[in-house]
Amino acid sequence: MSILSEIIKTVQERHEYLYELLVQHILLSLAAIVIITAIGLVTGIGILYNPKLRGPILGTVNFLYTIPSIAMFGLFIPLIGIGYVNALVVLIIYGLLPVIRNTYTGLNVVDPLLLDAAKGMGATPWQVFSRVRWPLAFPTIVSGFRTMVVMTIALAGLASFIGAGGLGQAIYRGINTNNSALILVGSISVALLALLADLAIGKIEKSLKKKSVTKGKSHVWLKYSGLFVIAAIALFMLFTKTGKSTGKEIVVATKPTAEQYILGEIISQLVENNTDIQVIRKFGIGGGTSNIHPAMLKGEIDIYPEYTGTAWLFVLKEPQIINPDSLYSALTKAYAEQFNLNWICRLGFNNTFTLALPETVAQENSIHTFSELAQKSNSFIFGAEFDFFEREDGFAGLNRIYPFNFKNKVELDINLKFQALENNTVEVINAFSTDSRIKQMNLRVLKDDKLFFPAYQAGIVIRNETLQEFPELNGILKGLEGLIDDSTMLQLNYEVEIEKKSPDEVAQTLLKSHRLIK
């Protein structure tokens, strides 16, 4: 099937999902654009008349603009949390520079002779500004506004990194599930949205440059009135999207992996089909547990799928417990006491960490265990996701047990490790035991002969406040206890990552097969 056919099929099958993301993207972008415009214009005018503030303000916005956007989203997580507000603040910060700079520049470069002439004719300061300086500066201001709008729409694509939705979610989900068609649909949609906005503003900008002095005023205001009407209608249509709201809402979040998307859909669909609670999906949150767990404690997220080993070693930072049942018992008690969070059930499979390398390489070097790899590690390049190098149950702890001395260590996005292995950027990776690409790429999973990695049994974590508000969730979610074994999860991952099925389709099929939904 050609990539064009895959794109068309993706749009046809997921049009409702894509429409929802489009709505989120437009609303987030519009909110940011309105606030940026208001702040930017006021600030640009302010520094024109107050030279003492000019240097500090322009220096500050220039400095903030140089900070990588993805870092800015992350920096605000401890202060604001994840989601819409975080994304809005970051978009506002990045959009201020072109508006402030163009507003100040446009107003400042007006010919002083024209200003003096207006003053000589008896014009008040306000008349000088509104009838001379502002009209002459307006094309420059619109140019800055145009740059800001396009940049804001494009940058809003990163909002999905912190669970704020938008078309970037389709891109991020496509990366996480190895779905090139979904990546292209999301990317093209963002590009088209930015292009349409740019063309519309360009038309206005062009008309402003050509308008005559005598009849331009009424013509321009008529045009702006029309634009405001169109914008109002568009907003009304977006806010009145079809669908009933019961006022009951919970937020389900996931980490950025195909497996987590599937588990998130299983939880969401089970709740939606058995209650009148509306589920808000915040899937694929960057940073995984390190960002989701704090958001749970703040009440920004109600439910998410987690792994026992991650919770015990990474969140609680406790010594390893080998026995899975003993670990789960201690974990549920600690989470209840320290965080007021409830491990409501275990799903039935163990997705533990492991190390893997191509079968041919393993055979050539007679490597079967972690210890054997450690002895020959100086011949290999190791690749893993960013947080694996930071977490206690990751490379730091592993290296204390096994004296690895890799030729080089490469930090990668969690979903790019297999591609890096395929193109020989790395030769050994960390992996999860239920990852479908292990089978697809014929990799050898090495034996953890010193038992460093504990059990990583998947379970569901929920806030106790959420259970108190919606007690029916207790019985519904416990219906997932032991439902998914290792082979089943491996097959579900395979269907999403290799066969390109959507996580919601795979989840729905599983739930229907067990008669948990109709």
Q: Are residues 344 and 389 in the same domain?
A: no
| pLDDT, tens only, 330-355 | 999 999 999 999 999 999 999 888 99
For residues 68 and 178, membership in a common domain is answered with: yes
368 and 340 in a common domain:
no
pTM for this entry: 0.75
- CA distance linking residue 488 with residue 57, whole number of Å: 57
Domain extent at residue 461: 249-352+455-513
Residue type at 47 in one-letter notation: I
Contact yes or no for 507/265 (Cβ under 8 A): yes
- Average pLDDT over all residues of the chain: 87
Domain co-membership, 368 together with 477: no
pLDDT in tens, 261-313: 999 999 999 999 999 999 999 998 888 898 899 999 999 999 999 999 999 98
Domain stop point among 410, 445, 480: 445
Which residue, of 399, 427, 445, is where some domain finishes?
Answer: 445
Pair 136, 187 in one domain: yes
d(CA 169, CA 165): 6
Q: Is residue 299 part of a domain?
A: yes
User: Which amino acid, residue 93?
Assistant: I
CA dist 76 and 276 (Å) reads 33
Phi then psi for 369, rounded to 5 degrees? -125, 165
What is the chain's length? 518
280 with 411, same domain? no
Lowest-pLDDT choice from 221-225, 438-442, 492-496? 221-225
CATH number for the domain harbouring residue 311 = 3.40.190.10
As a whole number, mean pLDDT of residues 141-164 equals 89
Domain shared by 31 and 154, yes or no: yes
Residues 93 and 181 in one domain: yes
Beta pairing class for 457-463 and 341-350: antiparallel
Residues 360, 344: one domain?
A: no
- 112: domain CATH number is 1.10.3720.10
Q: Which of 445, 470, 490 is the last residue of a domain?
A: 445
pLDDT digits (tens, 9 = 90+) for 388-445: 888 777 898 899 999 999 999 999 877 788 889 988 899 999 998 888 888 889 999 9
Pick the closest to residue 256 from 386, 446, 152, 346 (CA basis).
386
Q: What is the number of structural domains in the chain?
A: 3
Residues 176 and 303 in one domain: no
The domain that contains 370 carries what CATH number?
Answer: 3.40.190.120
216 in any annotated domain: no
Q: Name the token pair of 227.
A: 């634009």
pLDDT > 50? residue 214: no
188, 93: one domain: yes
pLDDT confidence tier of residue 77, bands split at 50, 70 and 90: confident
Q: Is residue 130 part of a domain?
A: yes
**Do 19 and 155 sit in the same domain of this protein?**
yes
| Section 38-51 average pLDDT | 93
Radius of gyration of the CA atoms of the chain, in A:
27
Nearest to 260 by CA among 435, 517, 387: 435
* φ, ψ (nearest 5 deg) of residue 197: -65, -40
Helix (H, G, I), strand (E, B) or coil at 253: strand
